[in-house]
């Protein structure tokens, strides 16, 4: 008997090959593989990640599922139309359709709001019976069911062949620029440690990225996890709160379990702004001590910074560069404050008439889509470009190198990637001047 074929798609932001993220930096989609693992064997599933694969609009399939965030929502809607025009049923899901259901449903036959685990079986049953509903929704629930994920052992997914794993969902905080707690709830939920171990073993991969918003958010759970994966001899990266650095034994346990790098959301080096963000470490001296502790234990310190807060003035760019160089930060992400729909900040900027565009493809945390208080949008965009360029100069990379010898290849690889992005930024600025600023 012929199997019903499901095509699951993760769209690019822009299909122009010149604007795609280098394949070596791509992390495979987790959401689509979870859906694949939940799909009964009577169906055949094909996953297409546009950043990695070529999408055939004439693909023979019966049902199309598209998962998107805000920046790639316009492309998702474009693809939805293409497949609907070809007579296919299209389902949208992901962060953006969850936040803006009324917008998303205009482009699809059905929308999954929130997490798909508890509704996917019903979606497929309704599709088979021709009774597909416009909206499916399940509130945050237990994530203790084991879901197998298929990874082709012959296909290399990225330069390091990293696979994504999630161990927790939910966030107790409610940052004004973030909608995680709206999506996954304020209570931290856990995947059983034995299920995490099984996922890693069955992937047959040695490089893992934990997608948790804070892998150390629940200390007792994290300690159990680190002890359990230590024997797997994997190398992993993740995201953590700077508060984690207060416990030296905890840091040592993370390193021994295979942690080679952690992403820390420093966000700002302004005490005024850190107070507003309710950060656990607000004193610069204490922050610098925390950075040193991470470096000393042999973990690559990746700092995430945000520019464009209402407290930021033009001197913020030089101040941040000085901070990064003084503390010999290994690598960094240079983000522009983005008022994503569904956040307090979006509503604030909208009410103040400060939004420059609602073309979602520019909501990529790398574009000034609003009017800052103490500089122009152009000055914000150019300032972030300048910090990134200065930070990734050969002289800067070499100067910081001796303090980051624990993972030299990773250090050079990521800094090289930042240098490449600087070239793209220059071309992007010209486009932004004509289309937004």
Q: What's the confidence (pLDDT) of residue 54? A: 86
Query: What pLDDT was estimated at residue 152?
Result: 67
Mean pLDDT (10-residue bins), the chain, 437 residues: 89 79 68 93 92 89 96 97 96 95 97 91 95 92 86 60 87 65 74 96 92 91 96 95 90 96 86 57 80 94 94 93 95 95 92 96 94 96 96 96 93 91 83 84
So what CATH class is 162-435? alpha beta
Residue range 4-138 in CATH 3.40.50.280: yes
Return the pLDDT at 149: 87
Query: What pLDDT is attached to residue 195?
Result: 96
Residue 176 is predicted with a pLDDT of: 64
Chain-centre distance for alpha carbon 316: 25
Chain CA centroid to CA 332, Å? 15
Would you list the domain boundaries of the chain?
Answer: 4-138, 162-435
Percent of the chain with pLDDT over 90: 67
Q: Which pLDDT score, from 0 to 100, does residue 107 have?
A: 97
Please report the pLDDT score of residue 303 as a whole number: 95
Whether pTM exceeds 0.85: yes
């Amino acid at each position: 008997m012929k199997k019903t074929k499901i095509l699951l798609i993760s769209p690019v932001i822009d299909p122009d090959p010149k604007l795609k993220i280098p394949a070596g930096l791509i992390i495979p989609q987790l959401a689509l593989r979870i859906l694949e693992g939940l799909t009964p064997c009577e169906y055949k599933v094909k996953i297409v990640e546009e950043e990695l694969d070529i999408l055939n609009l004439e693909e023979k399939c019966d049902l199309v599922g598209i998962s998107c965030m805000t920046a790639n929502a316009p492309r998702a809607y474009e693809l939805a139309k293409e497949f609907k025009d070809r007579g296919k049923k299209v389902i949208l899901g992901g962060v953006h359709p969850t936040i803006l259901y009324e917008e998303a449903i205009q482009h699809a036959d059905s929308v999954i709001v929130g997490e798909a685990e508890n509704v996917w079986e019903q979606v497929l049953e309704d599709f088979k019976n021709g009774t597909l509903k416009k909206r499916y929704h399940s509130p945050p629930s237990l994530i203790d069911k084991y879901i197998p994920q298929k990874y082709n052992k012959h296909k290399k997914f990225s330069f390091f062949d990293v696979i994504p794993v999630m161990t927790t969902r939910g966030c107790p905080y409610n940052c004004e620029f973030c909608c995680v707690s709206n999506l996954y709830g304020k209570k931290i939920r856990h995947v059983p440690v034995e299920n995490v171990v099984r996922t890693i073993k069955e992937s047959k991969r040695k490089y893992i990225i934990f997608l948790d918003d804070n892998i150390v958010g629940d200390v007792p759970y994290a300690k159990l996890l680190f002890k359990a994966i230590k024997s797997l001899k994997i190398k992993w990266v993740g995201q953590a709160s700077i508060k984690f650095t207060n416990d030296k034994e905890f840091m040592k346990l993370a390193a021994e379990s295979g942690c080679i790098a952690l992403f820390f959301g420093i966000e700002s080096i302004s005490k005024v702004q850190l107070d507003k963000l309710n950060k656990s470490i607000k004193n610069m001296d204490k922050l610098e001590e925390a950075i040193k502790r991470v470096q000393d234990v042999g973990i690559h310190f990746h700092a995430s910074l945000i520019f464009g807060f209402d407290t930021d003035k033009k001197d913020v760019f030089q101040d941040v560069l000085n901070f990064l160089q003084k503390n010999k930060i290994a690598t960094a992400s240079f983000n522009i404050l983005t008022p994503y729909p569904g956040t307090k900040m979006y509503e604030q900027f909208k009410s103040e008439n400060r939004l420059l565009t609602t073309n979602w493809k520019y909501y990529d945390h790398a574009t000034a889509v609003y009017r800052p208080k103490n500089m122009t949008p152009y000055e914000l965009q150019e300032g972030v470009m300048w910090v990134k360029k200065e930070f990734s100069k050969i002289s800067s990379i070499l100067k910081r190198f001796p303090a980051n010898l624990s993972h030299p290849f990773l250090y050079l690889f990521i800094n090289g990637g930042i240098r490449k992005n600087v070239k793209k930024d220059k071309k992007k600025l010209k486009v932004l001047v004509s289309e937004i600023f």
